């Protein structure tokens, strides 16, 4: 089978207050608005090669509207759609903003994914152009602004089943997982489409609400940028939810905070690059520091929250085994996830 996917290209999120979220991304994170189409706002990081990497859409709750992946070729887009439909999942073809003909589907555990090949590349002009020919625009004047979109981490009721489906059908590489010390329960896994440690994470979800997301992440060049970003955010009244610290899995430095909708955002940097074609995923234990390798601080309980919130009749945890509920709470409070 040909390689189907190349990388994560954008995330589309919903916010009850689009303008509040957009203002936050512009003034505190350092993103730039490139388009407003209807009620949707399109933003980019200074180093994103395409026209946009984040779309903020109106919605009653904070959520992931879709995660978009660029395929490796036009032929790969057709093959990916065939592979998905061969598994009994029916998607839809549509014309996307700046991405041309695209294919959108909802996976087995309710997560929307968009696949596309065509894309509008970004080339800044005038004062925004970079003296580096390979950069799409000059470095941001905003201290600690992220260079580009990095990954998205969704929440799934069955982590292993999610990994199995996406590796088999779309060719994601399975890189590592965390299994509890106390019981053989998978609580976290990472997948990638390229040499990064991951561009798709999966955390265990104790609710019955489909298609939830835990966070999405931006990349900064170095740890000092991450610390400066934390400085800027805190000076502007945005508290840090978790970090700065370093993950064991992936070896990235991390920092978590919330945007006005309450959706969680991560900034990270560092980490390894893996080109091994026959890589075998290692199994970590929380006691090894899979989330916080230094093992010197407890992850706040708020980090177990995913989006949309698990409330209402469609999101009850009734019927979820007690051991799963305990797995979501106690071990995370002690060691955490990546």
pLDDT at 13: 98
Q: Closest Cα to residue 81, out of 111, 100, 67, 102?
A: 102
pLDDT at 113: 98
How confident is the model over 96-154, as pLDDT tens digits? 999 999 999 999 999 999 999 999 999 999 999 999 999 999 999 999 999 999 999 99
Q: Closest Cα to residue 218, out of 261, 254, 189?
A: 254
Distance CA(313)–CA(315), nearest Å, equals 5
Percent of the chain with pLDDT over 90: 87
> For residue 292, what are the CA distances in angstroms to 230, 285, 288?
18, 11, 9
How confident is the model over 249-287, as pLDDT tens digits? 999 999 999 999 999 999 999 999 999 999 999 999 999
Average pLDDT over residues 59-83: 98
Q: What is the mean pLDDT of the chain?
A: 92
Lowest-confidence pick of 6-10, 273-277, 294-298: 294-298
How confident is the model over 207-220, as pLDDT tens digits? 989 999 999 999 99
Residue 2 pLDDT > 60: yes
Residue 319 pLDDT > 70: no
pLDDT at 322: 55
Q: Closest Cα to residue 160, out of 215, 112, 206, 204?
A: 204
Residue 25 pLDDT > 60: yes
How confident is the model over 142-176, as pLDDT tens digits? 999 999 999 999 999 999 999 999 999 999 999 99
- In this structure, are residues 105 and 113 in contact, taking their beta carbons and an 8 Å threshold? yes
DSSP 184: S
pLDDT band at 330 (very low <50, low <70, confident <90, very high): very low
pLDDT at 298: 83
The residue to which tokens 């929380």 are assigned: 286
Helix, strand, or coil (residue 110): coil
Distance CA(110)–CA(65), nearest Å, equals 11
Hey, what are 300's tokens?
């706040």
Q: What share of the chain is helix, strand, coil (3-state, %, to 5)?
A: 20, 35, 45
- In this structure, are residues 235 and 278 in contact, taking their beta carbons and an 8 Å threshold? no
Lowest-confidence pick of 188-197, 222-231, 237-246, 314-323: 314-323
Hey, what are 5's tokens?
């996917």
Distance CA(19)–CA(4), nearest Å, equals 36
Cis bond before residue 244 (omega within 30° of 0): yes
pLDDT at 323: 54
Q: Closest Cα to residue 329, out of 209, 189, 217, 185?
A: 185
* CA-CA-CA-CA torsion sign (329, 331, 336, 338): negative
pLDDT at 316: 40
């Amino acid at each position: 089978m040909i390689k189907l996917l190349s990388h994560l290209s954008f995330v589309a999120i919903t916010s009850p207050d689009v303008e509040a979220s957009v203002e936050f991304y512009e003034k505190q994170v350092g993103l730039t608005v490139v388009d407003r189409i209807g009620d949707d706002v399109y933003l980019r990081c200074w180093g994103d090669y395409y026209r946009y990497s984040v779309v903020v859409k109106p919605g009653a709750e904070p959520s992931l509207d879709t995660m978009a992946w660029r395929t490796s070729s036009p032929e790969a887009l057709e093959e990916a759609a065939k592979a998905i439909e061969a598994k009994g999942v029916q998607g839809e073809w549509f014309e996307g903003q700046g991405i041309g003909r695209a294919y959108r589907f909802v996976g087995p555990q309710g997560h929307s994914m968009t696949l596309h090949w065509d894309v509008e590349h970004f080339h800044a002009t005038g004062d925004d152009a970079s003296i580096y020919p390979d950069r799409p625009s000059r470095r941001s004047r905003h201290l600690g602004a992220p260079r580009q979109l990095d990954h998205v981490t969704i929440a799934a009721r069955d982590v292993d089943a999610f990994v199995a489906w996406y590796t088999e059908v779309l060719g994601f590489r399975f890189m590592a997982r965390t299994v509890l010390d106390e019981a053989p329960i998978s609580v976290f896994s990472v997948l990638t489409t390229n040499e990064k440690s991951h561009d798709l994470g999966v955390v265990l979800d104790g609710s019955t609400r489909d298609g939830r997301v835990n966070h999405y992440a931006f990349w900064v060049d170095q740890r000092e940028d991450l610390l400066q970003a934390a400085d800027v955010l805190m000076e502007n009244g945005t508290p840090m939810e978790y970090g700065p610290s370093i993950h064991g899995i992936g070896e990235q430095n991390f920092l978590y905070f919330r945007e006005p909708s309450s959706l969680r955002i991560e900034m990270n940097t560092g980490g390894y690059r893996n080109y091994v074609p026959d890589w075998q995923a290692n199994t970590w234990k929380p006691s090894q520091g899979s989330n916080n390798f230094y093992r010197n601080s407890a992850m706040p309980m708020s980090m177990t929250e995913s989006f949309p919130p698990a409330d209402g009749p469609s999101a009850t945890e009734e019927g979820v085994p007690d051991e799963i509920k305990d797995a979501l709470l106690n071990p995370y409070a002690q060691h955490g996830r990546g």
